[in-house]
Structure 1
Amino acid sequence: MNASRRTALFSVAASAALALSLTACQSGEGTKAEGAPAPVAKNTASAAASAPAAAATTTGTDTGTHTGAGTATAVGTAHKSDSGSAGAKKGTTTPLCRAQDIKVSSERQDGPPYTHIILTARNTSSHRCEMAGFPHIQFLEGHKQDVPSVAKSKPAVPTVLSPGDPAFVLVKLSDGGVHEDNEVVNAFQLILEGDSTVIAVDSSAGGGLAVDPAKTLTGYWTTELRNGADDF
């Protein structure tokens, strides 16, 4: 009887030990199951690690955007400034000299015989102006045609006068000597390019000018008389 009870108790103890072992195994698997979120933590760590990179990327993009905007603004301003400058240069024009802006005088050149005169037009205004083209001269009332111009005397650049500056023109009167076609001129008239106002020029000094209408020629207005270009 005692042997049977001991056997039964041993069986119960063995069963209990087996149950405890199984419980322990199950408990260990439970621990592993609780450790399952570890991959999630790993993913979280990866997300956290990538977050600075994303932030850096965003910051870089943002910086690049501002830098680009700044560059565009700078270039745009420079371009606008250049355009403004260009527009100012193109829009700034020098007005033509008018009769009211200048004073014209004449002077005999060389001689005798006096075959040429020099006309001087001085800017008496308070602003710059351009002496364009050549003077449209008429020496005689009976000869209404303007004195022909000499193309080779045309200057390469516009003749612009500041206040007080002079411009010059060489004018041929005749081939010289006493000729039946010569007429004495004590005064003559001219008009400027772009202005219809008649300017009277006194030429009575020295007994007047001997003019042959068929031989007269005029040069263009220049800032100085040039050898060669004004010889005619």
Structure 2
Amino acid sequence: MSAFRYRTTALAATTTAVLALALTACGGDSGAGTRAEGPASKSAHSAAKSAQGTAAKDDAPAGEDGGAKGGAAAKTPVTAKGGTTGSASTPLCTTEDVRISAATQDGPPYTHLVLTAKNTSGHRCEMKGFPQIQFLESHKQNIPSVARSRPEAPVVLDAGAPAYALVKLSDGGADEDVEPVTAFAVWLQGGDGQATVRAPGAEGVAVDPATYKTGYWTYELRNGADDF
């Protein structure tokens, strides 16, 4: 009996010591002691921090760019052809993106045309600079532009939106050396392709190579800037 009681007492002492160690390791003491973390507890602590970070990110309010407020946009601009445009978000319009038509302004005499370029592409694009126009086979150079008609900001067209450019044909004088034009070629700065534009009227328009000029593309024709 004494041997059995000795083994029972020893077993109880050992169990008490193990429980004390376990409580110490788990921070069972409510006092401000320093707790050492072993590999297992560090792993659990890291997992908890990761879960908290994920929850905070999911709860963050979204900004206009689709990311968290204060963060940089993660979107990469894409052109209509599938390529990136770097820092610019809008591709340049090409002659495949717009439909260009011509109408006389005022008159007679008809001294000016208004070119209208309507965006038919289904995506936004920028009308850069001024239309590059060749009226005559005998004059292969593009007609000159009028600097004061340049708009202050880039002309970016939404799908279906138009841009305008005023084009001077002549001074309307009887003594001018004019030539008839029934159709002419237009290129867009920075864009691909050539557009053939039909001149208005059954007989076309009269063009004087000594005086013709073109204005820049604008959202609307402006008095003063487009008077030339």
TM-score (norm: length of structure 1)? 0.64
Residue 145 of structure 1 pairs with residue 144 of structure 2:
no
Q: Which has the larger radius of gyration?
A: 1
Match of 2:73 in 1: 85
SS at the partner of 2:189?
A: coil
Match of 1:98 in 2: 94
**How far off its partner does 1:53 sit?**
7.2
Given that residues 122 and 164 in structure 1 are in contact (C-alpha distance below 8 angstroms), is that contact kept between their aligned partners in structure 2?
yes
**How far off its partner does 1:88 sit?**
5.8
SS at the partner of 1:99?
A: coil
- Residue among 131, 134, 155 paired with 1:135: 131
Match of 1:173 in 2: 169
SS at the partner of 2:72?
A: helix
Match of 2:196 in 1: 200
Structure 2 vs 1, CA of residues 117 and 160 (structure 1 numbering), >3 Å: closer, same or farther? same
CA distance in 1, matches of 2:193, 2:181: 21
CA distance in 1, matches of 2:141, 2:115: 19
Match of 1:158 in 2: 154
Match of 1:231 in 2: 227
Aligned AA (1:134): F
**How far off its partner does 1:125 sit?**
1.2
Structure 2 vs 1, CA of residues 84 and 192 (structure 1 numbering), >3 Å: closer, same or farther? same
Aligned AA (1:118): V
CA deviations 1:4-49 (Å, max 9, x no partner) are xxxxxxxxxxxxxxxxxxxxxxxxxxxxxxxxxxxxxxxxxxxxxx
Aligned AA (2:160): G
Aligned AA (1:99): T
Match of 1:184 in 2: 180
Given that residues 164 and 219 in structure 2 are in contact (C-alpha distance below 8 angstroms), is that contact kept between their aligned partners in structure 1?
yes
**How far off its partner does 1:223 sit?**
1.1
- Which stretches in structure 1 are left out of the alignment for 5+ residues? 1-50, 59-65
CA distance in 1, matches of 2:194, 2:206: 22
**How far off its partner does 1:85 sit?**
2.4
CA deviations 1:102-129 (Å, max 9, x no partner) are 1111010111111111000011111111
Count of residue pairs the alignment pairs up: 177
CA distance in 1, matches of 2:131, 2:168: 13
- Which stretches in structure 2 are left out of the alignment for 5+ residues? 1-28, 36-47, 62-66, 78-85
Given that residues 185 and 204 in structure 1 are in contact (C-alpha distance below 8 angstroms), is that contact kept between their aligned partners in structure 2?
no
Please state which structure has a larger fraction of its residues in helix: 1
Aligned AA (2:96): Q
